[in-house]
Amino acid sequence: MKKILLVVCILSFAVGAQADFGRKLLNKDNVTAAQNAVKAATLSDDDMAKLSRQAVATMDEQNPVVADGDSLAKRFNNIVKGLQSEDGLELNFKLYNVADVNAFATPDGSIRVMAGLMIIMTDDEVRSVIGHEIGHVKLQHAKKQYQKAYSVAAGKDAVAASSGTGGKVLTESQLGTFIEDVLNAKFSRGDESASDEYGFNFMVKHGYDYHAMEGAFSKLADLGGDDGKKSLKATHPGAAERAKVAKERADAQDEKMKQARR
């Protein structure tokens, strides 16, 4: 299977829902396949869980994980300690040894963080990103995205579905297409905002420094250089605005806590 590029959600700001996804579909065959598939292939919760685990297992196989003794791994393990059961979700975490400044979540509650993000962010900034990712799981954005990508991948050759292929929901070749689609898909602006808010509340709830979310977005906004499409600044145009919203939330929270102390 060809190497899978990790170009994902975290702080991406698509203008209009699934812009990238839509672009990919602007090919007659795919559009037809997708239309057929939407009717034919709605995943049950059980199959969604299976598909999600299947996709994560493949990504975990294809991406190196930071070795346990490494100082980045120690920081990461400390950050995610106690988060395996969170807000009614069962979560699991891995740190990929990949330079990208990124993170993603899958519907089954697998959260994956890239070493590049750990390197430029403080622990609390990483926590704010993790909180944001948990939001995509809890608010079922990841599930929605998987359902869409599934419809396309399965539609290409009328479905392995739950019936066959040794408990696997997609065949190996379908899975390749599927993973590429979910990794390239962007969440809608509304979903991103909702996850930002969720992430902020996550910080407050755990007593982490809730000002850190502003820091995380500011760092993303400052990233860049001009390597065209690969520039995070190019692919994450909303970061500066979202830093501003995060700051407003944090200031309001400061005020709230000041009032409560009076």
Binding site for Zn ion (CB under 5 A): 9, 192, 195
Residues 6+ apart with CB under 8 A from 145: 18, 182, 185, 187
User: What are the start-end ranges of the E strands in the chain?
Assistant: 85-86, 89-90, 92-96, 103-105, 110-114
Q: How far apart are CA 249 and CA 240, in angstroms?
A: 14
CA dist., res. 4 & res. 31, Å (int): 23
Half-sphere exposure of 212 (CA within 13 A, CB side): 22
Label residues 51-61 b or e (16+ Cβ within 10 Å = b). bbbbbbebbee
In the complex with Zn ion, which residue's Cβ is closer, 11 or 115?
11
Half-sphere exposure of 15 (CA within 13 A, CB side): 5
| CA 80 to chain centroid | 16
Catalytic positions:
133
In the complex with Zn ion, the residue whose CB is nearer, 102 or 195, is 195
Q: What phi and psi, each to the nearest 5 degrees, are found at residue 104?
A: -155, 165
